[in-house]
Amino acid sequence: MRIPDGGMGFACVGATVRGRVILPRPLPGRHLTQESKQPMNNRLTALCSAALCAAAGAAHAQSSVQFSGLVDTFAGSLKTAGDTSRKSVVDSGGLTTSWFGVTGTEDLGGGLSAKFQLTSFLRTDTGEQGRFTGDSFFSRDANISLSGSFGSVLLGRWLAPHFLPSIIGNPFGDSFTFSPLILHMNVPLYNGTGWGATTPADTGWSNQVVYSTPQFGGLQANLQYQFGEQPNDNGKKNAGANFLYFGGPLTLTGFYERDQIGNPGQGAYLGTTRKDWALHGAYDFGVVKPFLSHGESKADNSDDKARTSQLGATVPLGAGTMLADYARTELTRTRVDRRTFSLGYDHFLSRRTDVYAVYMNDRITAQTNGNSVGFGVRHRF
């Protein structure tokens, strides 16, 4: 058998099966003539080539590159608090923002490994790239990291400190359409209500350095710093930290952020410094998993403080899960109050494909009420 060049600059004669070198041999019923017999040095060359092939195969087995993603599309009718009219849609990202990309790892030996992530969001209803017009191509991930017994160090674009604790800490995960907690924290409204996101620096930070600790009994922490890279204003930056704890049925997460610049891409100065924090907890009793959280956010140029509390639960039901969540955010000075409730069912057709239905009610002080409903399909690959 002849194996193509394994990237080592030569073609390999022979093959490896379960780690053993298999060399070519004469076909049955045929005999080697004197002219066809190889000299000893040629045989040694063949053996060395086969051994190098085996070594090359082992080296390549220590590296991997994977193409993966998720497609989530739904049909529904949407009306958030303050909207003047209802909108019927086929839209992308009912429960999870659709994405695709390439990730890779290499085992460098001695417990050290390298990893890269290049992943992009897309809108599956139109085929457009990004979460919105103007979104950078690899706005989900664009980074490289080294990890070992010391933890890991990452450079590039990755999650903001608040995002992972928040999506773990609510029943609807990272739904920017139906999760009450994520809507309050990350989605400003452009309908005249004046509602702004309580974490305005985006769910991912560019130009950042991240140190992740090793896991200690289910506990891990991330320390994150985003360079502002602003001309004539190099002091502007984002900084934050979070922790994640998984101990059997108990899950605890939390974060702190100090935001001065926006994202994605190069970003721009927010015009103020905003500090926000939150703690999230969940406990899986088997028949029900309740979620509870509380957080606060305040900008230096405002007397208003946003206080957000959440109560939710998931309940296994057949081949799926019932989802329920309620979030309330109160602005302490203006006394504006937002209350959002969502109820849904997520049914798995396989390990990779599920269908879902969600109803949401959204209310803001002195604004018209909103009611939304959506039915969608989600597939992972």
DSSP secondary structure string for all residues of 165-185? HHHHTSTTTT-TTT-HHHHHH
The CB-side HSE value for 72 (13 A sphere, CA atoms) comes to 23
Write the DSSP assignment of 109-170 as a string of letters. Answer: ETTEEEEEEEEEEEETTTTEESSSTT--TT-SEEEEEEEETTEEEEEEEEE-TTHHHHHHTS
pLDDT at 310: 98
**pTM for the predicted model, two decimal places:** 0.82
Distances (CA, A) of 241 to 36, 92, 128, 294, 341: 70, 30, 33, 17, 29
Q: Rounded to whole angstroms, how far apart are CA atoms 165 and 242? A: 7
The CATH class for the domain spanning 62-380 reads mainly beta
pLDDT at 112: 97
Distances (CA, A) of 84 to 97, 337, 342, 354, 370: 26, 19, 21, 33, 9
Instruction: Report the alpha-carbon angle 311-377-204, nearest 5.
Output: 60
pLDDT at 11: 37
Which distant-in-sequence residues (6+ apart) come within 8 Å of 188 by Cβ?
Answer: 195, 196, 197, 200
pLDDT at 30: 39
Nearest residue to 200 (alpha-carbon basis) of 341, 83, 301: 301
pLDDT tens over the chain, length 381 residues: 333 333 333 333 343 333 333 333 333 333 334 344 444 445 445 444 544 444 444 444 489 999 999 999 999 999 999 999 999 999 999 999 999 999 999 999 999 999 999 999 999 999 999 999 999 999 999 999 999 999 999 999 999 999 999 999 999 999 999 999 999 999 999 998 989 999 989 999 999 999 999 999 999 999 999 998 877 766 889 999 999 999 999 999 999 999 999 998 767 889 999 999 999 999 999 999 999 999 999 999 999 999 999 999 999 999 999 999 999 999 999 999 999 999 999 999 999 999 999 999 999 999 999 999 999 999 999
Q: Tokens for 155?
A: 């450079």
The residues spanned by each domain of the chain are 2-56, 62-380
Q: Rounded to whole angstroms, how far apart are CA atoms 359 and 269? A: 37
